[in-house]
Structure 1
């Protein structure tokens, strides 16, 4: 279902036969989808991405990663140089290379809403600990596990991390990360969505009970939709790839969508097709097929 140009349901639309609508844009998740488990991009995938760009098909990386963790693919952005990061919270120009990215679009989570959400989760799922992702740094609450790719800049209760006079308070909040040490990941997601409602968008991409919370209406799909609209690209002209619940809306929105062989059941249900697992270059296989259709 679509309302005012926004995705409002994970139920797939009737699909237009792929052979009648040429693909103009490829949108792919990174971890668990495009990247191998060792976080590398295979030679086959690099060649497929380059061939797509050479054929005039735009490629967008659409990820839950923050911009500063995009070094692994910054050499492969080609043409436009843009990536959608933070589950849709930011569009970033990676042309400058590692450490020199530029924010083109930011869809922030208001600090007061972020704090409200954290307090709701504490009440609903006692034991929850959180982190705050701002544009240029990650800040943790005490007790939040050191599971990310960098040390935290600040360790303090959320009330201080989100205060008006907090260090880096001038940087927009992109998302809140909420971790529970004991709950089942899918159960934690269900509980959080029920508690938070429409205050914010809640999803997950980790195998652990780690939730990612963005501003209301902010998702990979809604930001990809904005970027496509700016280019005059319709959903039917997009091929999307993903593996986890944070990809569901994007897989639902795109005219052609593929869950990789290692995907979460929610991603499989949302996608219109399947491909091989990430470690077997499932994205590259489909890109090669798309390019073959154009001959």
Structure 2
């Protein structure tokens, strides 16, 4: 039994971790695999943000074999065009570290929300106050269903322009221009702290008020409502489909994947993964630039067919 951040899962005893980052290890029993859950950046996507032809073929083959594929990412819905052409049917993604489930059918510009797990405005403001006190110099952004707004000091880390640039308290005000849009997550950046130090400090300061994680190589934190994570939303989606944790194979590379990798019956840290991810996963595969997700999918399908 593995435990992490309040999420518990069980898996067969023979699925032990493989310490060698250069080889794929511990594939799930093929007859049990019903769903593949994969992170995007640093996992399914190569460093140039492309999806390789090998990976596209593996995703298609998995769905043809009756295995669902879920993209589970910290990205907002509007950044999902990168995989829209490769969803092969169901077209669902868990975005914003579990804050939203998004239907990708119809292609670019037509994505729609089918489930939202927002952070309440009052809780978001409490988190901001706690982090301002614990880490002076923190700057903030607010991710809503309709776009992002951020403070002037917040670095332009995003692929799209801000809807509004203003103090975070104004962005979260009841009379803000985006107040009718749910808040999916708060982002917090610090220019001097190391990424892991900032994460540890913020988790201590925020406590149970919200869920704090990170996926960026910089000191950028992603803050969701308490109890909202990739793992908890994936668990909800699987329960709706009658899929048990031991029937799920998950892939990831950064701290925001840890809970999901701990929850899934079988999980893989990429060859380029953060040390915490390696500890949480039940196996390892090769790096994202070497198509580590495709390597495991091909192995699962080969076992299923007896090839």
1 CA distance for matches of 2:7 and 2:258?
7
CA shift, 1:10, in A, is 6.2
Summarize deviations over 1:150-171 as a string: whole Å, max 9, x none.
1111000011100001011100
Aligned to 1:257: 267
CA RMSD in angstroms comes to 1.6
Report if aligned partners of 1:81, 1:93 keep a CA contact under 8 Å in 2.
Answer: yes
1:186 aligned counterpart, secondary structure: helix
CA shift, 1:11, in A, is 7.0
1:196 aligned counterpart, secondary structure: helix
CA shift, 1:115, in A, is 1.0
Aligned to 1:110: 120
Which of 195, 203, 208 is matched with 1:193 structurally? 203
Query: What is the count of residue pairs matched by the alignment?
Result: 292
Unaligned runs of 5+ residues in structure 1 are none
CA shift, 1:96, in A, is 2.0
Aligned to 2:227: 217
Aligned to 1:284: 294
Report if aligned partners of 1:62, 1:84 keep a CA contact under 8 Å in 2.
Answer: yes
**1:244 partnered with 2:258:** no
Which of 93, 102, 107 is matched with 2:103 structurally? 93
Aligned to 1:126: 136
Closer/same/farther in 2, CA of residues 190 and 12 from structure 1, 3 Å limit: farther
Which of 6, 11, 32 is matched with 1:9 structurally? 6
2 CA distance for matches of 1:60 and 1:164?
34
- Aligned runs of 1:68-83 on 2, under 5 Å? 68-83=78-93
**1:177 partnered with 2:198:** no
1:130 aligned counterpart, secondary structure: strand
1 CA distance for matches of 2:160 and 2:219?
19
Aligned to 1:26: 36
Closer/same/farther in 2, CA of residues 58 and 113 from structure 1, 3 Å limit: same
Report if aligned partners of 2:138, 2:190 keep a CA contact under 8 Å in 1.
Answer: yes
With the length of structure 1 as denominator, give the TM-score of the two structures: 0.96
Report if aligned partners of 1:179, 1:210 keep a CA contact under 8 Å in 2.
Answer: yes
Aligned to 1:266: 276
1 CA distance for matches of 2:138 and 2:217?
16
Report if aligned partners of 2:91, 2:104 keep a CA contact under 8 Å in 1.
Answer: yes
Summarize deviations over 1:80-115 as a string: whole Å, max 9, x none.
211000000000000021111110000000011111
Summarize deviations over 1:56-76 as a string: whole Å, max 9, x none.
000000000000000000111
CA shift, 1:201, in A, is 0.2
The higher relative CO (CA closer than 8 Å, separation ≥ 6) is in 2
2 CA distance for matches of 1:188 and 1:80?
37
Report if aligned partners of 1:109, 1:173 keep a CA contact under 8 Å in 2.
Answer: yes
Aligned to 2:177: 167
Report if aligned partners of 1:16, 1:236 keep a CA contact under 8 Å in 2.
Answer: no
CA shift, 1:293, in A, is 1.2
1:150 aligned counterpart, secondary structure: coil
2:29 aligned counterpart, secondary structure: helix
Summarize deviations over 1:127-177 as a string: whole Å, max 9, x none.
000000000100001100011101111000011100001011100000000
CA shift, 1:15, in A, is 3.1
With the length of structure 2 as denominator, give the TM-score of the two structures: 0.92
Report if aligned partners of 2:30, 2:304 keep a CA contact under 8 Å in 1.
Answer: no
Misfit runs of 4+, over 4 Å: none
1 CA distance for matches of 2:304 and 2:260?
24
Unaligned runs of 5+ residues in structure 2 are 15-27
